[in-house]
Amino acid sequence: MSGTSTETAAINSISKEEMDKRFDPAGYEQVWQRRWAEKGYFKAEAPSAKPSYCIMIPPPNVTGKLHVGHALQSSIQDLLTRWRRMQGFNALWLPGTDHAGIATQLMVERQLATEGTSRRELGRELFLDRMWQWTEQYHGNIREQLDLLGASCDWTRERFTLDAGLSRAVREAFVRLYREGLITRGEYMVNWSPKLGTAVSDLEVEAKTVQGKLYYVAYAVEGSDERIVVATTRPETMVGDTAVALHPEDERYTHLHGKAAVLPLVGRRLPFVADTAVDRELGTGLVKITPFHDPNDFEMGKRHDLPGITVIGLDGRMTAEAGPGFAGLDRFEAREKIVERLRDEGYLIKIEPHTHNVGHSQRSGEPIEPIVSTQWFCDVRSMADQALAVVRDGRVRLIPDSWDKTWEHWLTTIKPWCISRQLWWGHQIPAWYTEDGRCIVAHSLEEAIAEAGTDRLTQDPDVLDTWFSSGLWPFSTLGWPDDTQDLRTFYPTDVLVTAFDIIFFWVARMVMDGLHFMGDVPFRAVHLTGLVRDAEGQKMSKTKGNVMDPTELISEYGADALRFTLASLDSPGRDIPLNRDQIAGYRAFGNKLWNATRFALSRIPAEARVRETIDPEGLAAPERWILSRLSRVAAEVDARFETFRFDEACNRLYHFFWGDFCDWYIELSKPALSGEAPRPRVGDVLLTVLDRALRLLHPVMPFLTEELWQRLPGHEAIHSETICLAPYPRREEGWEDDVAEAGMEALTQVVTRVRALRTEMGLPPKAKLDLHLNAADSGTGRLLQEQSALIQFLTR
RNA sequence: AGGCCCAUAGCUCAGUUGGUUAGAGCGCUACGUUGACAUCGUAGAGGUCAGCGGUUCAAGUCCGCUUGGGCCUACCA
């Protein structure tokens, strides 16, 4: 509690002291963040008489560090939450973190390696202890960083995907899907990552175009002198061949039907099989079939009832089945060795360069090995159909909707999802095996024992894919499977804000799970943001060294400037080039807010106050005009927030404040405030417009607006404690005044024209001139006449 | 191989359902500092809206093609 006394001093200083000429975000940002938290302004209610508004944070990696992409998404989520909260909604932004299975386990494994040990050496239990230690050590970082950004999360509802409640939800979901027959265990071909030692899903495989080789190998035809030639990119798999395929209508090879080839080096008999999947144009039109090491061959093997042989093991090395001379070799060494033997024995016809796509492990970067193994699968077909339906009928809106087609394509072609991982960090699969090999799926060991009739059970060692638990996030975080008050209050949630790159990993699965388990969509809209890039539009990456750290940007420019920048760059369907000049520009905007407030506070009459509302009756044209403009901007900003056009909303706020308010209204108020040319209620109007402008800006720039708003005399009339809970300004139709706007338009044009003439004629800015105006019509003439003092003031 | 997106000022981008003279920020030029703000003010320069064709009274905007970028999906040995 060492910081308490200084904090109190800082809080006391707010709104009392003379304002500095320059604003300093570091001086108040975290003071306010702490105070808001202490006051509990962001705690949502359940139940509540107010309408609910809910956003679930896309949970970042619990041990991770927030990057600018997180800063972007968090800024948008906070903007929406603060906006709705001010509008009187019972707003919940639920924070939390993800255990991020492979990623986090790898970090700890790397650390163990530096200590000269490994997870295998430690054993599962000790290793998991280390994982939890690691998790606890870094867990606070995410909150710290969100606090720096000004996030208005409800931390009393924070969740972690591995906490007790969410783990229970995971087991419940697994058991239900198993009992519905949608989760099954079986031996299939999976994407295997030898380095990671685990199966991964199709999504975790990245196709990379590589320069490979196409090897042409001669196979003898059984019972004849004929030799046929097959082409392959992976000669090392040939020792696992069990057939040779040809196209049924390929006239070159009709004589081979019913015959067999002989596998070089091994001597195995390989029947010819006819299959239309064979491409006659490619290679020689004859394909070697290795059912256990190629996804196509696996399918073909099933169609023709071919046996499979596992010649590459889970460690990426050749098995004993590969035969003497190859067993134990790494798969790529084996390739060289086998090609060498083929050449030596005269089977190698030729080698051609060949460009093709090879699946690589997204996480480890190595080529994926298609391997047959026993895994758990989730058949998502029926769930996918439901997810298709809700996007088609608009119950879930993707924003921008250009993603609809991608959604459609992926979900219509979706295949069973391999959900088991050979890792330790994650939700262990709730399946137990009896000694006689029965498999019991249950919520708990106790339930499994009861069902099995024995306590001699072994739990399946595998854990679930991280995304299995993430898919449940919108309702597991609210207490599901129990029927909780939170669940009833906040589900379905309103908006999901996330980057497009996890639309399949996560968004689609939440929609499927939400519909399946809750019978309703998890959110009504998905705002998909672009990728944050550097100033040159390059992807940020550690290797390029162009990564921008949000924490550092905040300390340099302030959180409000970063937030404003990110929000104003968030145009639909576009990536976001972030450059420091722009952030600096919005920091200058902050300075503008600061100094406009400073001006108002130093010049208004003592009795001036922020008013809840103002009757324009009896006000002069400049006052009528600024109130009219304010009303229109409030309406526009509201409409833009509704449609997720944060860029346009920010733009309008920026131009209203800097252009209308500072460049014109403040200038116009000067002669009135100084007493040279008094006008009615100028002080009240100035403060009231400032109050509303700050409130309009609050969702984007929470810290500065609070800091300034607290200083406005009479702000308590709007809310007794904080701008965070003050009402969001709406349109005031009674303020909208076409006559005043037209009149001011004429005035500003006159002023601008005079200034331009002065420059064109090379007249010194201070030289006083005579100005004669001829109005085109009497109305304008009268107005300009009325405002002649102002015109003189602005044009000298 | 399919699909999606993009091309507008020196740079990064807006530009709604087609409708006056295409906008902003940064950068640039000139001038300006004792009274909110130099993180500023005033004025200004700068665009064949990638190219070609079409629809229309009217196209940056709609349609087709071309070129040049980017991304996603995909089992071609």
pLDDT for A8: 40
A211 CA → B13 C1’, Å: 38
Which residues of chain A (409-438) touch nucleic strand B at CB < 7 A?
Answer: 409-410, 413
Average pLDDT of A592-596? 94
H-only helix segments in A393-472: 403-412, 445-452, 466-470
A648 vs A4 pLDDT, higher one: A648
Q: What angle, rounded to 10 degrees, do the helices at A682-697 and A580-603 form?
A: 150
A736 CA → B23 C1’, Å: 25
A493 CA → B26 C1’, Å: 39
Q: Give the residue with minimal CA–C1' separation from B30.
A: A759
Instruction: Return d(Cα A537, Cα A531) in angstroms, integer.
Output: 10
ipTM of the complex: 0.93
Tell which residue, A609, A783, A791, has the closest CA to residue A682. Answer: A609
Query: Residue A756 CB closer than 7 angstroms to strand B?
Result: yes
pLDDT for A765: 63
**Where is average pLDDT lowest: A94-98, A163-167, A357-361, A689-693?**
A357-361
pLDDT for A422: 94
pLDDT for A389: 92
Question: Which nucleotide's C1' sits nearest to the alpha carbon of A602?
Answer: B36
pLDDT digits (tens, 9 = 90+) for A292-324: 999 889 988 888 888 988 999 998 899 998 888
Contact A86, A641 (CB under 8 A): no
**Where is average pLDDT lowest: A353-362, A463-472, A563-572?**
A353-362
A325 CA → B72 C1’, Å: 43
Question: Which nucleotide's C1' sits nearest to the alpha carbon of A598?
Answer: B36
Query: Residue A121 CB closer than 7 angstroms to strand B?
Result: no
- Token pair 């996330």 is at which residue? A498
* Host H or E run for residue A38: helix A29-39
Average pLDDT of A220-225? 88
**Where is average pLDDT lowest: A139-143, A389-393, A704-708, A763-767?**
A763-767
pLDDT for A17: 58
pLDDT for A283: 78
pTM of the model: 0.91
Q: Give the residue with minimal CA–C1' separation from B41.
A: A663
pLDDT for A279: 83
Confidence of residue A576 (pLDDT cuts 50, 70, 90): confident
A742 CA → B19 C1’, Å: 22
A570 CA → B59 C1’, Å: 27
Tell which residue, A737, A714, A738, has the closest CA to residue A726. Answer: A714
Whether residue A564 has pLDDT greater than 50: yes
Query: Residue A408 CB closer than 7 angstroms to strand B?
Result: no
Q: How many C-beta atoms surround the C-beta of residue A13 within 10 A? A: 12
Instruction: Return d(Cα A560, Cα A25) in angstroms, integer.
Output: 8
pLDDT for A447: 95
Average pLDDT, chain A: 89
Instruction: Return d(Cα A122, Cα A135) in angstroms, integer.
Output: 18
Kindly calculate the radius of gyration of chain A based on its CA atoms and give it in whole angstroms. 34
- Token pair 């190698």 is at which residue? A348
Instruction: Return d(Cα A67, Cα A76) in angstroms, integer.
Output: 15
Query: SS3 for A3?
Result: coil
A731 CA → B39 C1’, Å: 31
**Where is average pLDDT lowest: A199-208, A463-472, A606-615?**
A199-208
pLDDT digits (tens, 9 = 90+) for A194-209: 988 999 988 888 888 8
A693 phi/psi in degrees, rounded to 5:
-65, -40
Whether residue A9 has pLDDT greater than 80: no
- Counting residues of chain A whose pLDDT is more than 70, the rounded percentage is 95
Query: Residue A287 CB closer than 7 angstroms to strand B?
Result: yes
Q: How many C-beta atoms surround the C-beta of residue A774 within 10 A? A: 6
Query: SS3 for A545?
Result: coil
Those residues with Cβ within 8 angstroms of residue A670's Cβ, 6 or more apart along the chain or in another chain = A603, A793
Query: Residue A593 CB closer than 7 angstroms to strand B?
Result: no
The string of DSSP codes covering A557-623 is H-HHHHHHHHHHH--TT--EE--HHHHHHHHHHHHHHHHHHHHHHHHS-TT----S----TT--HHH
pLDDT for A11: 43
Query: Residue A402 CB closer than 7 angstroms to strand B?
Result: yes
Query: Residue A231 CB closer than 7 angstroms to strand B?
Result: yes
Q: Where are the beta strands (DSSP E) in A255-383?
A: 260-262, 269-274, 286-289, 348-361, 369-378
Query: Residue A248 CB closer than 7 angstroms to strand B?
Result: no
Nucleic acid strand B: bases within 7 A of protein CB: 2-6, 11-15, 24-27, 30-32, 36-44, 71-77
Question: Which nucleotide's C1' sits nearest to the alpha carbon of A597?
Answer: B36
Question: Which nucleotide's C1' sits nearest to the alpha carbon of A647?
Answer: B14
Instruction: Return d(Cα A307, Cα A252) in angstroms, integer.
Output: 26
pLDDT for A404: 86
The string of DSSP codes covering A169-214 is HHHHHHHHHHHTT-EEEEEEEEEEETTTTEEE-GGGEEEEEEEEEE
pLDDT for A89: 97
A92 vs A206 pLDDT, higher one: A92
Query: Residue A552 CB closer than 7 angstroms to strand B?
Result: no
Query: Residue A401 CB closer than 7 angstroms to strand B?
Result: no
Query: Residue A575 CB closer than 7 angstroms to strand B?
Result: yes
- Counting residues of chain A whose pLDDT is more than 90, the rounded percentage is 58
- What distances in angstroms separate CA A405 from CA A388, A401, A572, A681, one per listed residue? 10, 8, 16, 57
Question: Which nucleotide's C1' sits nearest to the alpha carbon of A640?
Answer: B16
pLDDT digits (tens, 9 = 90+) for A24-66: 899 899 999 999 999 999 999 989 999 999 999 999 999 888 8
Query: Residue A283 CB closer than 7 angstroms to strand B?
Result: yes
Which residues of chain A (663-702) touch nucleic strand B at CB < 7 A?
Answer: 663, 666-667, 670
Question: Which nucleotide's C1' sits nearest to the alpha carbon of A762?
Answer: B31
Whether residue A115 has pLDDT greater than 80: yes
Query: Residue A757 CB closer than 7 angstroms to strand B?
Result: no
A349 CA → B57 C1’, Å: 71
A645 CA → B5 C1’, Å: 18
Average pLDDT of A443-468? 94
pLDDT digits (tens, 9 = 90+) for A740-787: 888 888 888 888 888 877 777 776 666 666 667 666 666 667 766 777
pLDDT for A530: 86
pLDDT digits (tens, 9 = 90+) for A266-301: 888 999 998 888 888 877 888 999 999 998 899 888
Which residues of chain A (520-539) touch nucleic strand B at CB < 7 A?
Answer: 535-537, 539
